[in-house]
Amino acid sequence: MSRTFLAYERPNGEIGIRNHLLIIPTVICSNQVCNRIMQMVPGTVAIPHQHGCSQIGADKTRTFEVLAGTGKNPNVGAVIIISLGCEVVDPIALAEEIRKTGKPVEVFDIQSIGGSVKAIAYGTELAKRMMTELEKQEKVPVPLNKLKVAVKCGGSDATSGLASNPALGAAADSLISEGGSIVIGETTEIIGAEHLLAERCVTPDISDRLYYMVSRFDKEVERMGADMRGGNPSPGNIAGGLSTIEEKSLGCISKCGKAPIQGVIEYAESIPENGLYFMDSPGNDIECVSGMAAGGAHIVCFTTGRGTPTGAAVVPVIKITGNKMTFQKMEDNMDVDVSDMLDGTASLEQAGERVWQEIVDVAEGKWTKAEVLGHQEFSINRIGPSL
Amino acid sequence: MEHVIEKGADALYMDERDHVATALRDMQAGESIHYRSAAGLQLITLIDPIPFGHKVAIAGIAFGQDVRKYGEVIGRAVVEIEAGSHVHVHNIEGIRGRGDLGTKEAAERA
């Protein structure tokens, strides 16, 4: 029997550690209306984005899946979808997809309602009513093994591979031993270390899929005729002591711990329960975290050496650093300091326990620094050209 | 990859196959610094200044040789590297994610 903690229970049996009213623009044209409603009604979260129109094929599907997945994320209690009325993302299909979770979903379009002013007024009234209902919901005891945690690193320096990533890996192993789920992503940042992850896949098929995802990305880089080092390692990574993508990757992978890999999933695909999974995703912080949130992660644990303020729209993001200077300089943004691993005064186990305790506290409602500061970054990964 | 970090060490060495150690503080050229390997405490004199988080060669590395950290290949040397030198983007290069190599080779074939 897994340990329990207090969280929201969703109609489909999932658990939520936050109770957001999410406002989704189906298209860039609805962003401003969504933002205005968010400003009018405290407790709502809008996810403005650049997409939803002039998109075809895989990109159109990806935008739909990320929006649907974010709406389905168990930290979201109710959803308002605001369409312009002529975009390629179908707002009714989106509402139906999110309603499969059993949560309340409302949808309307700006063209039918008569423009921005009327849409903001209508949406504000709707949001107030839905927030009032949402706030009545009480937390109940739920098992810890329902928790899904994503692991991510960004703004890496040499301390990431030496301290914060191994510490997060130890915490990831603690969640796995409780029966929970961990998801690791960043296909670009396992290049050069993919053989080590592939060895841990539970079947040869899963290992083949992992190699396929890496080679698919390698081919994209080749198609651009570029040296990946132009963007990764980033200038900040290089200043911090990292010299090649291989070196960065070898430091990156320790953040998912030592468990066997149970499966490999596509960007924004639903994260299965129990065990460690790999999600195909870019290293770009916001796009990667948005894909993990759309896959149903409750929390993102984010290690950083250089320091970054990044949060996410519907999931708390816990910042962990192994760089003492960064913790001191950016304490407003950093949640956990494991830099004492580097002077030998804390063991890997002690640092891992500190991260694990923070995960449990945040699951029980403690706000992360990114939440306190209102960081709600959101961005959808794009595949091809706009029309 | 074992994770035992010695109190008071100047640089961290991850695996017996490694050519580099990572500086745990800013270090000056000419300094003699300590790192611990399986054979015990090792002393090396620095040729270059090594900033915190950057790597120092703990053995000579030949031109074109694979360079190892964490016991794994992190790239190859683009010049001969002396023990005690700063190992960074000026003297090693990544082998992966190199679309530019693909196009050069393609251009040479054409």
3-class SS string, A145-193: HHCEEEEEECCCCHHHHHHHHHHHHHHHHHHHHHCCEEEECCHHHCCCC
Query: For chain A, what percent of residues have pLDDT higher than 90?
Result: 89
Contact state of A225 with B7 under an 8 Å Cβ cutoff: no
CA distance A83 to A5: 37
Residues B52, A245: C-beta atoms closer than 8 Å? no
Check if the beta carbon of residue A63 is closer than 8 Å to that of residue A383: no
Per-residue confidence (pLDDT) for residue B105, from 0 to 100: 53
Per residue in A91-135, pLDDT (tens digit) is 999 999 999 999 999 999 999 999 999 999 999 999 999 999 999
The answer, for B51 touching chain A at a CB cutoff of 8 Å, is yes
Check residue B61 and give its pLDDT: 97
- Tokens describing residue B68: 């190892």
DSSP assignment of B77-104 equals ESS-B-TTSEESTTTEE--SSBHHHHHH
Contacts of A196 in chain B (CB under 8 A): 72
Yes or no, beta carbons of B53 and A305 under 8 Å apart: yes
Cβ proximity of A256 and A194 under 8 Å = no
Q: Which residues on adjacent β-strands are paired with residue B75?
A: B67
pTM: 0.93
Question: Is B104 near chain A, with CB under 8 Å?
Answer: no
Rg (CA), chain A: 20
Cα–Cα distance for residue pair A180/A171, rounded to 1 Å: 12
Which of A256, A301, A192, A296 lies closest to B94, judged by CA? A192
Contact assignment for B94 to A245 by CB distance below 8 Å:
yes
**Interface probe with B: pick from A197, A211, A219, A250, most Cβ of B within 10 Å:** A250
Q: Return d(Cα A197, Cα A212) in angstroms, integer.
A: 13
The HSE-up count of residue A374 (CA atoms within 13 Å, CB side) is 7
Average pLDDT over residues B60-74: 95
Residue in chain B lying closest to A225 (CA): B99
**DSSP H stretches of helix in chain A:** 31-40, 57-72, 91-99, 110-113, 116-134, 158-159, 165-178, 194-198, 204-224, 235-239, 245-252, 285-294, 324-329, 348-363, 369-372
What backbone torsions phi and psi does residue A25 show, to the nearest 5 degrees? Answer: -80, 130
Residues of chain B numbered 25-44 and touching chain A (CB < 8 Å): none
Q: In which residue are the tokens 């031993």 written?
A: A177
Which CA distances in Å does B7 have to A114, A233, B26, B38, B77? 69, 30, 16, 16, 31
B8 dihedral zone (left: phi>0; alpha: psi -120 to 50; beta): left
Q: Which residues of B66-90 are buried (b: 16+ CB within 10 A; e: fewer)?
A: bbbbbebbbbbbeeebeebbbbbee
Nearest-CB residue to B22 (from A158, A224, A250):
A158
**Residue in the structure block whose two tokens are 């994260």:** A271
Supply the angle between the helices A285-294 and A57-72 in degrees, to the nearest 10: 60
Decide: helix, strand or coil at residue A60.
helix
Ordered per-residue pLDDT tens for chain A, 387 residues? 578 999 999 999 999 999 999 999 999 999 999 999 999 999 999 999 999 999 999 999 999 999 999 999 999 999 999 999 999 999 999 999 999 999 999 999 999 999 999 999 999 999 999 999 999 999 999 999 999 999 999 999 989 999 999 999 999 999 999 999 999 999 988 999 999 999 999 999 999 999 999 999 888 878 877 777 667 788 889 999 999 999 999 999 999 999 999 999 999 999 999 999 999 999 999 999 999 999 999 999 999 999 999 999 999 999 999 999 999 999 999 999 999 999 889 999 999 999 999 999 999 999 999 999 999 999 999 988 777
Does residue B7 belong to the interface with chain A, where contact is any CB pair within 8 Å? Answer: yes
The answer to whether residue A218 neighbours chain B at the CB level (below 8 Å) is: yes
A-chain residues near B55 (CB < 8 A): 158, 241, 243
Q: Cβ(A179)–Cβ(A274) under 8 Å? A: yes
Asked if A192 and B74 come within 8 Å (Cβ–Cβ), the reply is yes
User: What residues of chain B, 61 to 90, have a C-beta less than 8 Å from chain A?
Assistant: 69-70, 72-75, 87-89
A250 with B70: Cβ contact below 8 A? yes
In the block, tokens 């709502």 appear at A44
- Straight-line distance from the first to the last Cα atom of chain A, in angstroms, rounded to the nearest whole number: 53
